[in-house]
Amino acid sequence: MKLKNILDMKKIKGIILAILLTLTVSCGEDFLVEEPKSFLSPENTFINAAGLQTALETALKGVFNQWNGDNEELLFNHNMSDASVVSATDKPNAYVDLRTYATPANTRDNDAGRTRSFYAENYKGVHWGWVNYASGNFSGWQNSFVNVTHGEFVGLQSGFVNYADTLTGVQLGAVNVSKQATGFQLAIVNYAESAQNLFQLGLVNFIADNSWFGNFPDELAQGFIIANWSFGGEE
């Protein structure tokens, strides 16, 4: 009986050892290779003059905005350097709290603390992911399962659910929602609380501030199947 138990233990150890060896062999160097998150990686960007120009144009745009704006980025760098007392951590002012100073949580809208502009600049271009969220204004393209912009959205939202406080552009999805919309909505369900020059195409379409056929042909109805619209509003 004891001999059988010893043989069973050896079998179990052998199986465990075989599994470990298999895992060790299968985990080669490829496991440690980091894949680029986008096609714009150093390996395929800085290979010719055009690739270098792509990076330089983005950098030059940032410099242009600094010198021709109110210089908030330059002021931020100055304030956080040894040349300024703003970065001193023994001061009672809120903006020296480094945990919030360089984040959108910094509510100081002045020359010393307008660091929110850094984040606003990043909310231009393309959002691509499972869920895209912009806490302020966004210009560009949001493409994901859920797109949300709490602010003014200008561009294209494409996803299963699209939401924008203020829409100027196009929403393509299953459910499109906007408080104020100008442009085009295509979905199974489209909803706009108010609209100016908006055309909706879908199974069910709602424009809450429309009248019921009272301003036809400028407006159709508060709710209608297939299509609904509101034209001629002042922007």
Please tell me the distance from the alpha carbon of residue 55 to that of residue 49, in angstroms, as a whole number: 10
3-state SS, the chain, equals CHHHHHHHHHHHHHHHHHHHHHHHHHCCHHHHCCCCCCCCCHHHHCCCHHHHHHHHHHHHHHHHHHHHCCCHHHHHHHHCCCCCCCCCCCCCCHHHCHHHHCCCCCCCCCCCCCCHHHHHHHCEEEEECCEEEECCCEEEEEECCEEEEEEEEEEEEECCEEEEEEEEEEEECCEEEEEEEEEEEEEEEEEEEEEEEEEEEEEEEEECCCCCCCCCCCECCCEEEEEEEECCCCC
Across the range 46-59, mean pLDDT stands at 80
Please tell me the distance from the alpha carbon of residue 217 to that of residue 212, in angstroms, as a whole number: 11
Domain shared by 209 and 169, yes or no: yes
**Lowest-confidence segment of 109-123, 136-150, 152-166, 192-206 by average pLDDT:** 109-123
Q: Could you tell me if residue 114 is inside a domain? A: yes
* Cβ–Cβ < 8 Å for 199, 215: no
Q: Could you tell me if residue 85 is inside a domain? A: yes
Radius of gyration over every alpha carbon of the chain, rounded to an integer in angstroms: 28
The pLDDT assigned to 126 comes to 80
Please tell me the distance from the alpha carbon of residue 127 to that of residue 132, in angstroms, as a whole number: 6
Q: Which residue has the higher pLDDT, 36 or 170?
A: 170
Q: How many domains does the chain have?
A: 2
The pLDDT assigned to 94 comes to 43
Across the range 33-49, mean pLDDT stands at 71
Q: Which residue has the higher pLDDT, 144 or 105?
A: 144
Domain shared by 155 and 104, yes or no: no
Domain shared by 146 and 224, yes or no: yes
- Give yes or no for residue 218 having a pLDDT over 50: yes
| pLDDT, tens digit (0-9, with 9 covering 90-100), for 61-116 | 767 766 666 566 666 666 666 666 565 555 555 445 566 666 656 656 554 455 55
- Give yes or no for residue 50 having a pLDDT over 80: yes
Domain shared by 156 and 134, yes or no: yes
| pLDDT, tens digit (0-9, with 9 covering 90-100), for 223-232 | 999 999 998 6
| pLDDT, tens digit (0-9, with 9 covering 90-100), for 128-142 | 888 888 877 888 899
Domain shared by 216 and 179, yes or no: yes
* Cβ–Cβ < 8 Å for 178, 171: yes
The pLDDT assigned to 120 comes to 60
Report the mean per-residue pLDDT for the chain.
Answer: 75
Domain shared by 214 and 148, yes or no: yes
* Cβ–Cβ < 8 Å for 137, 104: no
The closest of 99, 100, 153 to 123, measured between CA atoms, is 153
Percent above pLDDT 70 for the chain: 55
Domain shared by 216 and 136, yes or no: yes
Q: Could you tell me if residue 40 is inside a domain? A: no
Structural domain for 111, as ranges: 55-120
